[in-house]
Amino acid sequence: MTSDDSAPDGGTTGEEQGGASDDGGVALDPWGSATVGDYRNLFEEFGIEEFDEIIDRVPDPHYLMRRGVIFGHRGYDAVADAMRKGDEVAALSGFMPTGDPHIGHKLVFDELIYHQEHGADTYGLIADLEAHSARGMTWAEIDEHARDYLLSLIALGFDAEAGTLYRQSTNRELQDLAFELGAKARFAEFEGIYGFDGGTSVSHMQSVVTQMADILYPQLVDGPKPTVIPVGPDQDPHVRFSRDIAARMRYFRVTEAFASFELTDAQRRVVAVAYDDREAYAADPETPRCEEAAEYLRNARGDDASDVGAADEVVDATIGKLANGGKEPLRPRLRFLDRNATDGAFEALIDAVPGEKRVFEAHVDAFEMDRAAAEELAREVELDHDGYGFVAPSSIYHRFMTGLTGGKMSSSDPASHISLLDDPEDGYDKVKAATTGGRETAEKQRELGGRADECPVYELYAYLLAGDDDEFAEAVYEECVGGERLCGDCKEQAAGLMREFLAEHQEKREEAEELLADLDVDLDVDASRRGVAPSAEE
């Protein structure tokens, strides 16, 4: 969930988790090398959704969204809808202070600022516990870099008075939440998701749980609301894990049901098909019986006209449950499953469910409610009885910037990136020396056109230098691929714009010093932590 020097940031959980890959496939490792060979694979392998499919629902989309730099999301439609309606929404991202903030980190800064400008309660955090436990940073080093990240965030437009900035290590409320969330996490999940083993320190595992708390923290402060976490795709394991943990903390789970017995999500879809086809088999379609539906599914096996869209083992298990249901009618209802409810909360839910209902030992079935009303009721009862009522956090994912020398952008290679602290003339020189997607000669460039899609310099225009001017960004692209723009002139223009950007940014950083000094953020080395020897495992 954090941005560090390489990222613009077996248990089984409810959403399939992804780990590192050594065979050239997609690897999502929050502490590894931040590269993705083919972003399309992320949609298929990890269930990341395409951002283009919902961009029309986003109010005044940021240029990073319009240009496809932000390419994917999880559940962002809820955030977009809330912003469009003027409902409460939150945004949060974190920064692991392991080096100077650079132009790759600016993507996250910009995304936070965009959401703040569109009404979101916005949080920026310094992941100092993670930096110490996972990267072996000393507290003095962390303090130095933390100041630089916050100054750049404020200088770029973050309203520190309206938003919230904090450090993990000094936020007791956050740490208390992390302790509670840890009760719902299991070591096998840390093995399966992150590849942790017997050599992983407990502090490193604790920092992961703290990141789960970070992701849910806005809802702890101001109540449940759609919350977006802007990150690079390497941080997706944290997002998925947090979505699972948020669900496990809820008092109730609302599902659809058709009879008194329990079904898995896949089995429920099969029963839904059988219920919709009841006119074809039920003696009385108003009250189709479980055993009738079971027989229908048996007879329909192999019939092309009946496609339940499920694997054979799922259909077999569903038929078995329906057969055991005998003459019980199939009747759609909403079910409130007791996950963590106190006795008082469960009794309050029973009283609150309107209309016809059936009460069981661990669930309540409601026959006169729609899904939205049921979800709202479950959350209201939970909040009234000291629960959290978490809404599943959402996320948006941006492409990684290519290093100026080709390959990945990394703080460990100064020539590959431009620090937001670089002297403007140094920034100019780095752009002038950057690798391009140009042809071998000017003649070939004019004939064949440049390869803007493979050019680190064009990325500078699209991600930063063109700002909100889409026409300018598009003109650079078209002139490049059309052979009108040569690399020397293109780099000269980009270098000049970079110099201007850095000069302006550093002037604003100086102005931000006074603002930062007035904030309640501890940026001094905690004396009680001095002398603690860090031990990075990765």
Mention every residue, 6+ apart, whose C-beta is less than 8 A from residue 327: 289, 290, 291
Domain count across the chain: 3
Give dist(CA 389, CA 202) in Å, integer. Answer: 29
Same-domain status, 366 and 471: no
The verdict on 243 and 279 lying in the same domain is no
Question: Do residues 270 and 292 both lie within one domain?
Answer: yes
**Residue that has been written with the tokens 């629960």 in this structure:** 387
The tokens for 202 are 């407990």
Each of the 538 residues of the chain gets a pLDDT tens digit; together they read 766 543 333 332 333 333 334 444 444 444 444 455 566 777 777 788 999 999 999 999 999 999 999 999 999 999 999 999 999 999 999 998 888 999 999 999 999 999 999 999 999 999 999 989 888 888 888 988 999 999 999 999 999 999 999 999 999 999 999 999 999 999 999 999 888 999 989 998 999 999 999 999 999 999 999 999 999 988 899 999 999 999 999 999 999 999 999 999 999 999 999 999 999 999 999 999 999 999 999 988 755 445 666 788 999 999 999 999 999 999 999 999 999 999 999 999 999 999 999 999 999 999 999 999 999 999 999 999 999 999 999 999 999 888 898 877 776 678 888 999 999 999 999 999 999 999 999 999 999 999 999 999 999 999 999 999 999 999 999 999 999 999 999 999 999 999 999 999 999 999 999 999 888 887 775 555 655 555 545 4
330 near 258, Cβ under 8 Å?
A: yes
Q: Are 129 and 136 in contact (CB under 8 A)?
A: no
The strand pair at 357-359 and 252-257 is best described as unpaired
What is residue 385's DSSP assignment? T
The answer to whether residues 208 and 270 belong to one domain is no
| Residue 508 belongs to a domain | yes
Picking from 312, 314, 303, 305, the residue whose alpha carbon sits closest to that of residue 269 is 314
Res 304: pLDDT: 47
Query: What's the length of the chain?
Result: 538
pLDDT of residue 524: 75
Residue 259 lies in a domain: yes
Instruction: Give the integer Cα–Cα distance in Å for 53 and 61.
Output: 13
List strand residue ranges (DSSP E) for 385-425, in order: 394-398
Check whether residue 418 and residue 367 sit in a common domain.
no
| Owning domain of residue 220 | 2-251+392-398
Confirm whether 272 is domain-assigned. Answer: yes
CATH code assigned at 462: 1.10.240.10
On whether both 472 and 355 belong to a single domain, the answer is: no
45 and 160 inside one domain: yes
Asked if 390 and 249 count as a contact pair (C-beta separation under 8 A), the reply is yes
The residues that bridge with 419 in the sheet, in sequence order, are 102
Round to whole Å and give the CA distance between 65 and 156: 18
417 vs 10: CA distance, rounded Å: 37
Domain-located, residue 532: no
The CA distance from 77 to 57, in Å, is 7
Taking CA atoms, 432 is separated from 106, 178, 360, 435, in Å, by 21, 46, 71, 9
Question: Residue 26: what pLDDT?
Answer: 46
Q: What tokens appear for 369 in the block?
A: 């409610």
Phi, psi dihedral angles at 156 (to 5 degrees): -80, -10
Q: What is the pLDDT of residue 412?
A: 66
Rounded Cα distance, 81 and 58, in Å = 7
The predicted structure's pLDDT at residue 19: 39
Res 480: pLDDT = 95
Residues 353 and 472 in one domain: no
- In degrees, rounded to 5, the angle at the alpha carbon of residue 154 between the alpha carbons of residues 511 and 222 is 140
Q: DSSP secondary-structure letter at 419? A: B
HEC secondary structure over 56-106: HHCCCCCHHHHCCCEEEEECHHHHHHHHHHCCCCEEEEEECCCCCCEHHHH
pLDDT, residue 503, reads: 98
160 shares a domain with 43: yes
522 assigned to some structural domain: no
Residue 527 belongs to some domain of the structure: no
Phi then psi dihedrals of residue 322, to 5 deg: -65, -40
Last residue of one domain, picked from the residues 363, 398, 433: 398
In a domain, 367, yes or no: yes
- Token pair, residue 94, equals 């974190």
Q: Which of 330, 380, 325, 335 is nearest to 358 (CA)?
A: 335
Please tell me whether residues 123 and 146 are part of one structural domain.
yes
- φ and ψ of 227, to 5 deg: -135, 130
Residues 274 and 233 in one domain: no
Residue 504 has a CB neighbour count (10 Å cut-off) of 12
Q: Quick one: 518 exposed, middle or buried, by C-beta within 10 A (0-12, 13-18, 19+)?
A: exposed
Measure the CA–CA gap between 396 and 486, rounded to whole angstroms: 34
Domain annotation covers residue 406 = no
pLDDT on residue 410: 72
Are 447 and 500 in the same domain? Answer: yes
Phi and psi dihedrals of 2, rounded to 5?
-100, 160
CA distance 23 to 37: 12
